[in-house]
Amino acid sequence: MKIKITLVLLFSSFLINAQKDAKRSGNLEGPENVEHQIEKRNHQKTLFEGPQSLQTYTQWKKDLKKKHGLSFGASAIMLYQNANNTTGSDCNALGGVYRFMGSWELVGRGTGHTGRLDIRVENRSNFSGFLAPSQLSGQVGMVPLNSGFAYSHNFKTDLAVFSWVQMFGNNSGGFAVGRLAFDVYLDPTAFQTFSRSFVNRAFILNASAPTTGIGALGAVVKGYVSEKIWLGGQIYDANAASGSFDFETVKMNEWMRAFEVGFTPSRDRQKQDKIQLSYWFKDARFAAGIPKGQGLLFSTTYGVNPKLLTFFKFGTNDGGGGVAAKNTLSTGVEYKPQAYHAFAFAAGWAEPTAVLADKDEYAVELSYTAYLMRWISVMADFQFLKNPTSNPSEDSAFVFGFRTIVNL
């Protein structure tokens, strides 16, 4: 009941603020949201123009969005990795994340209070004869600072996102409800995506953050309560499993919740210039034998200039909720000398929650990304990993990677 009252008050406050300043805008979703993933592919600057047929196809998609409010796209994100120290005989991994996405503006098209239907069909799997990159990280021994985060072997084809997203007040606020990807809304930063400059979890999704399945039933409400400050609240089924859907988990009445406050110096730069603080609470999951937990997440990103983007993340919690780490810290930078390529560097630290962990984990990642054409990009990646939790016989490991993204 308290959560419902809080969300109603939050929703009312940003509606009032939106009426005061309806000319300003600010989208509060993260870069993994369906609409952003589709649109960025249509506008990405690249080294080569590509075949005329693909240019015609891209223009047709833009016209379709303009005339009917309908946009769609497909992507294959494939990652190869090799590690020098593992607990088993396998030192190579090859896996992918495959998506078909669609977004249809059905209400208020061309206004600041659009309503749209988002869908994302997704599969994550390894190639035959290879470990998935997340499995290779297990062989290396890294637990919270997973070196192949999100590239799993058992994410079956699923309707991972099926949600209604309603915006108000020239995008000053809104809500989303349905099957949601929690990483779109929980402590989102410009680097919280699989398609940018990093692979290690330390630099994508805070290792001290709670998780639930992609495709969890949930609801989110966020909005500006003043010119530069926003508030948000969200709730998800805590027992959801990625790659499957079972309504029985909702009946367990165990939830993951989060509340956030954020600041940006300018709404039109909110995606890259912001500070945000989130408090989360996750119910005990009795069937899984996992105690309740709570914690704080802090993140900030700042664009020094159009070519240089920095980030800093920190997290702390009580060790419950099934989180991978009790305390985390990471920072990094991405440098784009030209719009079609980028260099990136980041370093991170985590204190694992594992009972037997007697050392903290550290990770350093270097990468170079080239956007060759609108439909393809490649990235070379190097990670230095220190103190792998589940491989105490080794002090460190190196992981080399190569990622290819194909978009249509």
Specify the DSSP element, H or E, that contains 79: strand 70-83
State whether residue 230 is helix, strand or coil: strand
State whether residue 264 is helix, strand or coil: coil
Place of tokens 């940003």: 14
Residue 32's contacts (CB-CB under 8 Å, 6 or more residues apart) are: 181, 183, 184, 188, 192, 193, 194
Checking if the pLDDT of 404 tops 70, the result is: yes
8 Å CB contact between 386 and 361: yes
Residue 245's contacts (CB-CB under 8 Å, 6 or more residues apart) are: 158, 159, 179, 215
Domains of the chain, earliest start first: 2-407 (2.40.160.10)
**Out of 39-48, 130-139, 146-155, 343-352, least confident range:** 39-48
Give the pLDDT confidence of 33-74 residue by residue, as tens digits.
888 888 776 666 777 776 777 778 888 888 898 898 899 999
State whether residue 353 is helix, strand or coil: coil
Q: Please, what is the average pLDDT of the chain? A: 87
Place of tokens 């998506």: 99
- Which residues in 169-215 belong to E strands, given as ranges? 173-180
8 Å CB contact between 350 and 133: no
**Out of 8-12, 97-101, 144-148, 273-277, least confident range:** 8-12
Tell me how far apart the alpha carbons of residues 64 and 70 are, in angstroms, rounded to a whole number.
6
Q: Number of H helices and number of E strands within the chain? A: 6, 16
Residue 206's contacts (CB-CB under 8 Å, 6 or more residues apart) are: 187, 297, 299, 313, 315, 328, 330
Determine phi and psi for 358, rounding to 5 degrees. Answer: -110, 0
Given pLDDT bands bounded at 50, 70 and 90, which one contains residue 14? very low
- pTM for the whole thing? 0.88
**Out of 21-25, 61-65, 196-200, 225-229, least confident range:** 21-25
3-state helix, strand, coil in the chain (%, to 5): 15, 45, 35
Specify the DSSP element, H or E, that contains 376: strand 376-386
Checking if the pLDDT of 391 tops 70, the result is: yes
> Taking the mean position of all CA atoms in its chain, how far away is CA 180?
12
Count of residues in the chain: 408
pLDDT at 44: 66
Give the pLDDT confidence of 141-171 residue by residue, as tens digits.
888 999 998 899 888 899 999 999 999 888 8
8 Å CB contact between 239 and 254: yes
Tell me how far apart the alpha carbons of residues 105 and 114 are, in angstroms, rounded to a whole number.
7
Checking if the pLDDT of 373 tops 70, the result is: yes
8 Å CB contact between 212 and 180: no
Checking if the pLDDT of 4 tops 60, the result is: no
The secondary structure of 151-201 as a DSSP string is --S-EEEEEEEEEEEEEETTTTEEEEEEEE-GGGTSS--TT-STTSS--SH
Residue 86's contacts (CB-CB under 8 Å, 6 or more residues apart) are: 136, 139, 140, 141, 391, 397
State whether residue 196 is helix, strand or coil: coil
| Mean of pLDDT values over 75-88 | 90
Residue 1's contacts (CB-CB under 8 Å, 6 or more residues apart) are: none
8 Å CB contact between 397 and 382: no
Name the token pair of 129. 């004869």
Q: Any idea what DSSP says for residue 285?
A: B
